[in-house]
Copies of this chain bind each other. A is one copy, B any other.
Amino acid sequence: MPAVTKNIVNLKQLAQHLGLSQTTVSRALNGFPEVSERTREKVREAAEKFNYRPSPSASSLATGKARIIGHVVPVSEHRMINPHFSDFLAGASDAYAKAGYDLLIRAATPEQEVEIYRDFVSRNRVDGVVVHAPMVEESRIELLQSIGLPFVVHGRAGGEEHSYSWLDVDNRSAIEKLTNYLIDLGHRRIALVNGLESMNFAHRRRLGYESALIQHGIDPDPDLITSQDMNEPYGYETTMEKLELEQPPTAFVYSSILSAMGGMRAANMHGLRPGKDISLATFDDQLSFLQSKSSSRPPPYMTNVSSSIQDAGRRVGEMLIEQIANPDAAPVCELWKTNLVVGESTGRLG
Contacts and interface: CB of A to CB of B under 8 A. Distances in A.
B123 A7 contact: yes
Given A55-B61, A94-B75, A6 B122 contact: yes
A5 B125 CA distance: 12
Interface stretch (A159-167, A209-217, A232-240): A232-240
A146 to B, nearest CB: 12
A294 B122 contact: no
Q: Which 9 A-B pairs have the closest CB atoms?
A: A86-B86, A233-B292, A3-B64, A81-B90, A57-B60, A7-B122, A55-B123, A93-B107, A97-B107
A138 to B, nearest CB: 23
Given A81-B93, A81-B288, A231-B289, 5 more contacts: A4-B64, A6-B64, A82-B288, A102-B106, A233-B297
B63 A3 contact: yes
10 contacts: A6-B148, A56-B57, A58-B123, A79-B288, A81-B89, A86-B89, A104-B105, A233-B292, A264-B265, A265-B301
Tell me the number of copies of this protein: 2
A320 interface: no
Nearest to A294: B237
A301 B262 CA distance: 12
A258 interface: yes
Interface string A271-297: 000000000000000001111111001
A264 to B, nearest CB: 8
Interface string A82-121: 1101110110011011000011111110000000001101
Contacts of A97: 75, 106-108
B106 A93 contact: yes
Contacts of A27: none
A331 interface: no
A73 interface: yes
Interface in A121-159: 121-125, 147-148
A186 interface: no
A31 to B, nearest CB: 17
A107 B96 contact: yes
Interface in A229-279: 229, 231-234, 236-237, 258, 261, 264-265, 268
A5 B108 contact: no
Which of A7, A93, A107, A261 has most B Cβ within 10 Å? A107
A134 B187 CA distance: 51
Interface in A287-328: 288-294, 297-298, 301
A62 interface: yes
Given A3-B64, A291-B231, A105 B122 contact: no
A1 to B, nearest CB: 10
A103 B75 CA distance: 14
B8 A54 contact: no
A250 to B, nearest CB: 20
A68 interface: yes
B104 A68 contact: yes
Contact of A51 (B61, B108, B118): B118
Given A81-B86, A81-B87, A57 B124 contact: yes
